[in-house]
Amino acid sequence: MMKRVRDMVAEANEIVDCLSAEEAIALHGNPDVTFVDLRDVRELQRDGFVPGAFHCPRGMLEFWIDPESPYAKEEFQSDKRFVFYCASGWRSALSTRAAKEMGLAGVSHIVSGFTGWKKAGGPVDEK
């Protein structure tokens, strides 16, 4: 039987650090926290993004985290806390699980995604 995405997301949420939108909003502006936007660039252009967030397309995440990868990004080589988000929390759940499995410390995700962030009154940059 085929494993369903919904099941994969539920399994990920059982083992990763999950944040409500309100908890994430409370972390915004902390210099020791990096928000990571996993959405496609078209989503950012259309819907805006968390001010100051680092954009990491979902397809590049593992390559950008791995310090031995030729694509490694300095942002992921720090001791900061990382808060991942996507539109609804599905991609970020799977991404958080992958990052945790790769050994990235201090990673969590917004369960309700950017949609929840906006509904909870989180700031949005539309540049």
Residue-by-residue pLDDT tens, the chain, 127 positions: 799 999 999 999 999 999 999 999 999 999 999 999 999 999 999 999 999 999 999 999 999 999 999 999 999 999 999 999 999 999 999 999 999 999 999 999 999 999 999 999 999 998 7
What are the φ/ψ torsions at residue 78 (nearest 5 degrees)?
Answer: -115, 175
Beta-carbon neighbour count of residue 120 at 10 Å? 15
Cβ 112 vs Cβ 119: under 8 Å: yes
Cβ 63 vs Cβ 90: under 8 Å: no
The top-level CATH class assigned to 14-119 is alpha beta
CA-nearest of 25, 19, 77 to 51 is 25
**What ranges do the domains of the chain cover?**
14-119
